[in-house]
Amino acid sequence: MHEMSIVQALVEQCEKIAEQNKANKINRVDVKIGILSGIEAHFLESCFDMFKEGTICDGAKLNMQIQKVVVLCKECNEQSELSEHYFICPKCKSENLEVKDGEDMMLMQVEME
DSSP SS3 for 79: strand
From 33-41, 48-56, 72-80, 102-110, span contacting Zn ion (CB under 5 A): 72-80
Q: Binding Zn ion by CB under 5 A: which of 9, 50, 66, 76?
A: 76
Site string for Zn ion, 84-113 (x = CB under 5 A): -----x-xx-x-------------------
Residue type present at position 13: Q
Sheet with 26-34, edge to edge strand ranges: 61-67, 26-34, 105-112
CA separation for the pair 19, 91 (Å, rounded): 46
Contacts with Zn ion by CB under 5 A lie at 73, 75-76, 78, 89, 91-92, 94
